[in-house]
Amino acid sequence: MKANRWYWAVALAIAIALPWLFYNWSTGRQSGFAVTLLSEVGLMIMFALSYNMQFGHAGLLSFGHAVLFGLGGYTTAHALNGIRGAELWIPMELVPLAGGLGGLVFGVVFGYLATKQRATAFAMITMGLGELVTAAALMFITFFGGEGGVSTDRVIEASLVGASYASPIQVYYLIVGWGFVSILLMKLQTQTPLGRMANAQRDNFERTQFVGYDPRLIRFYQFVLSGFFAGIAGGLFVILHEIVTFDAVAASKSASALLASYIGGAGGFFGPIVGAIVVVLMQSGVSLLSSAWLLYLGTLFILMVMYAPGGITGLLALHAPIVRIGRLGELIVPYARALLPAAVCLAGFVMLVELASFNTIGASQGKEFSFFGQALDARSVTTWLGGFALLIVGGLWLRAESRTFARTFNALLEAAKTEGGAR
């Protein structure tokens, strides 16, 4: 338990120190892009973890989780405008609670309908609710603001610590504070009777019902709590961007939470954290390098579903028995041998994607196609054949090396079982 406390303390210290790695001594401030990116990572972590309360812990596949996020954001925007109009007085540090309460209230309303069903029926209901709210956001202008959304101003004269929140770094630390508290509460919730029974009804619906619990009530409470934390994330989103539009409740936003949870590993608590970092970096980093970044994200998701359903954290967890017997070093050479063909295969795939993207988008802009600093003719058959050659040769080479790697890895796992049993 004390070790876990140290983990939390270290994580908080890292989050506080991260912006100072991007300090610009010439301007005397942190990089605005870096701080905003870190803020987006924090928001996505909260959003993904709130989604995982339904998907990973309760087994509820939702296609409309962004509704709770976005409605929390709209509630926060109206609260901020009320504060600026002297209709309300809420310190800025407590404003994200407005989003949390908004997510909670709408979670009660939508959860009452959705949690009457489970499995596929639940997923379809949440999809319908998502489309319903997205359409409503364009129709009911008084609350949603139409296509233009609801804009606000976070610089208000109401703070418990005297901060103006005009600078991105102040908003970042507000996100860190609320994020740390929210993540800690979500972690503690997994250890409560509700959290454990959510896992139980996910794994065996009938047995949960047999021992005297109402699975529907468990799903409902889990849905409402996830709505509360999603609403807090939505409130912080509005504070960061000072606007909320119908995109915040759209299906694409829900998909981001699903991707983050699954890629990172929905089975555990920390998986969505890893997945959120990956998704944000691809959205904000890879998107600057390629207009086809969504294709790369989709491909990564498909590969994880096919070959690593436990996500990134699940892959790391597979190495735990080998680490315990002190033989992880024996995987260095197999990993190195697999890395080269994987790089060749990846290079071929990226080359083909970028060629296709260039010929459909970039060519009209009069740009020159460049691949790893080398200017190439995007319309030449030779260039396309080179991409296919890299992809095919790398793929076949990787397939051969993966078999060798699998034999070595499985042998080490068997050794771990044998040594563990001997102890």
Average of per-residue pLDDT values in the chain: 89
Look at residue 403 and tell me if it is in a domain: yes
Same domain, 289 and 333: no
Question: Which runs of consecutive H residues, i.e. helices, occur in 190-309?
Answer: 193-203, 205-210, 215-241, 251-264, 271-281, 287-289, 293-307
Residue keyed to tokens 């991260």: 18
Look at residue 166 and tell me if it is in a domain: yes
Pick from 296, 259, 291: which is nearest to 277 by CA?
259
pLDDT of the residue at 68: 96
Could you list the residue range(s) of the whole structural domain that residue 111 is in?
2-309
d(CA 236, CA 226): 16
d(CA 285, CA 14): 21
Beta strands in 76-227 (DSSP E): 150-151
Same domain, 328 and 300: no
Pick from 285, 266, 348, 247: which is nearest to 54 by CA?
266
Q: Are the C-beta atoms of residues 271 and 261 closer than 8 Å to each other?
A: yes
Pick from 61, 158, 36, 45: which is nearest to 115 by CA?
61
Two tokens at 297?
Answer: 């994200």
Same domain, 151 and 273: yes
| 95, 221, 342 from 106: Cα distances, Å | 18, 13, 46
For residue 28, what is the DSSP state? T
- At residue 165, the 3 state secondary structure works out as coil
- Which of 280, 309, 338 is the last residue in one of the domains? 309
Same domain, 304 and 335: no
Residue keyed to tokens 């699940």: 314
d(CA 351, CA 66): 34
Look at residue 314 and tell me if it is in a domain: no
Same domain, 304 and 363: no
Q: Are the C-beta atoms of residues 222 and 114 closer than 8 Å to each other?
A: no
Q: What digits encode the pLDDT tens for the residues 174-229? A: 999 999 999 999 999 999 999 999 988 888 878 888 888 888 999 999 999 999 99
Same domain, 98 and 36: yes
The residues pairing with 150 across neighbouring beta strands, listed in sequence order, are 244
d(CA 129, CA 272): 24
Q: How many CB atoms lie within 10 A of CB 259?
A: 22
For residue 359, what is the DSSP state? I
Please report, for the domain that includes residue 178, its CATH number: 1.10.3470
pLDDT of the residue at 162: 80
State how far Cα 215 lies from the chain centre.
Answer: 27
d(CA 33, CA 236): 17
Look at residue 76 and tell me if it is in a domain: yes
Two tokens at 6?
Answer: 């140290």
pLDDT of the residue at 421: 55
Look at residue 105 and tell me if it is in a domain: yes
Residue keyed to tokens 């310190």: 91
Same domain, 413 and 381: yes
d(CA 54, CA 122): 11
Contacts of 281 (CB under 8 A, 6+ apart): 41
Burial pattern 54-87, b for ≥16 Cβ within 10 A else e, equals: bbbbbbbbbbbbbbbbbbbbbbbbbbbbebbeee
Spans of the chain, pLDDT less than 70? 1-4, 362-368, 420-423
Q: How many domains does the chain have?
A: 2
Two tokens at 126?
Answer: 């949440």
Same domain, 33 and 53: yes
Q: How many CA atoms lie within 13 A of 334 on its CB side?
A: 19
| 17, 35, 169, 270 from 22: Cα distances, Å | 10, 8, 11, 26
Two tokens at 359?
Answer: 């010929």
Same domain, 271 and 413: no
Look at residue 378 and tell me if it is in a domain: yes
Look at residue 157 and tell me if it is in a domain: yes
- At residue 154, the 3 state secondary structure works out as coil
Look at residue 47 and tell me if it is in a domain: yes
- Which of 261, 290, 309 is the last residue in one of the domains? 309
Same domain, 353 and 249: no
- At residue 255, the 3 state secondary structure works out as helix
**What would you report as the CA-atom Rg of the chain, rounded to the nearest whole angstrom?**
24
d(CA 99, CA 92): 12
pLDDT of the residue at 283: 86
Q: Are the C-beta atoms of residues 22 and 37 closer than 8 Å to each other?
A: no
Q: Are the C-beta atoms of residues 412 and 323 closer than 8 Å to each other?
A: no
The residues pairing with 374 across neighbouring beta strands, listed in sequence order, are 371
Residue keyed to tokens 């319309």: 379
- At residue 24, the 3 state secondary structure works out as strand
Same domain, 251 and 139: yes
pLDDT of the residue at 367: 60
Same domain, 77 and 7: yes
